[in-house]
Amino acid sequence: MCLKHRGQLFAASVRKLAKSVLQPTQMPSETSDESWHNTQCLTAAASAMRRQQERKFMPDAAKKVYLIHGWGANRHVFDDLMPRLPAEWAVYAPDLPGHGDAPFVRPFDIAAAADGIAAQIDAPADILGWSLGGLVALYLAARHPGKVRSLCLTASFARLTADEDYPEGLAAPALGKMVGAFRSDYAKHIKQFLQLQLLHAHDADGIIGRILPDLARCGTPSALQEALEAAERADARHLLDKIDVPVLLVFGGKDAITPPRMGEYLHRRLKGSRLVVMEKAAHAPFLSHAEAFAALYRDFVEGV
């Protein structure tokens, strides 16, 4: 049995144990964060066990890959991609602060999130970042160049909001509307978000059924709010000239959140980068076009 599959089996057993024996604790209603969506989380002990087990298999792997999720998600958004990556790769998907099972210490800081992931990397790794995770990956590559072997940014950005010298960005009101919807009913809107992104996927219902229960399990609303505000403020354009590793940019042709023009901007600024636009994909190409995306990423990493 391959190492990755052993890790997945362990994760499944931890979830079962936490559900049947440890009795996950319901979020208390007295705090606005925890009453925002009435879900239950795995215990901290079970989560720590799972993360420790995932890391256990990394030292002797042929490739070490870190997948960094986007805003409002957690590591489980990659559950459908990971089995499509080579079994000999050690793949680790950490939760960003305040997302999934990760604790949140105010304020949400993108550079600090990048530093936290860098602290876990003991040898040059291949980094893939999606959306906000791509912004974190940019900071990681610029601040810790010795820990990054290659960089893949999918549906991501150096700056999210538009200004006079950056017409590629989005207007701020569109972002406010998005976060308001998620804050009102996270579980409902994360499902609607996935449905929208998977319009052109042949197995949309199956994908959603596989990842939604874990994806919607946890998250700290104040962290999500602060993370979005941090993304709105962030401007990593000054970091792009500092990045000197192979870069793959994958964008969706139908993405209204990070449209291809953001990828074109990154392509112009990141020396030697390669830009691929999946014309029928939206904001999550690795979900809607998982096989094609995985093949593209496998070839990229193996060719570095």
Q: For this structure, is 238 an active site residue? A: no
The whole-angstrom separation of Cα 223 and Cα 209 is 26
Contacts of 63 (CB under 8 A, 6+ apart): 86, 88, 89, 90, 126, 301
Q: Which of 131, 222, 273, 288 is catalytic?
A: 131
Q: Which residues, listed in sequence order, are joined to residue 128 by a DSSP beta bridge? A: 67, 152
CA 268 to the chain's CA centroid: 24
Q: For this structure, is 32 an active site residue? A: no
User: Residue ranges for the binding site?
Assistant: 71, 131-132, 193-197, 283
C-alpha atoms less than 13 angstroms from C-alpha of 256 in its C-beta half-sphere: 7
User: Residue ranges for the binding site for substrate?
Assistant: 71, 131-132, 193-197, 283
DSSP 244: -
Q: Which of 80, 101, 126, 255 is catalytic?
A: 255
The whole-angstrom separation of Cα 117 and Cα 137 is 9
C-alpha atoms less than 13 angstroms from C-alpha of 294 in its C-beta half-sphere: 16
Contact 10, 50 (CB under 8 A): yes
Q: For this structure, is 131 an active site residue? A: yes
The whole-angstrom separation of Cα 7 and Cα 91 is 10
What element of type H or E holds 66? strand 63-68
Token pair recorded at residue 33:
């964060």
Q: Which of 80, 283, 288, 289 is catalytic?
A: 283
Return the active site residues: 131, 255, 283
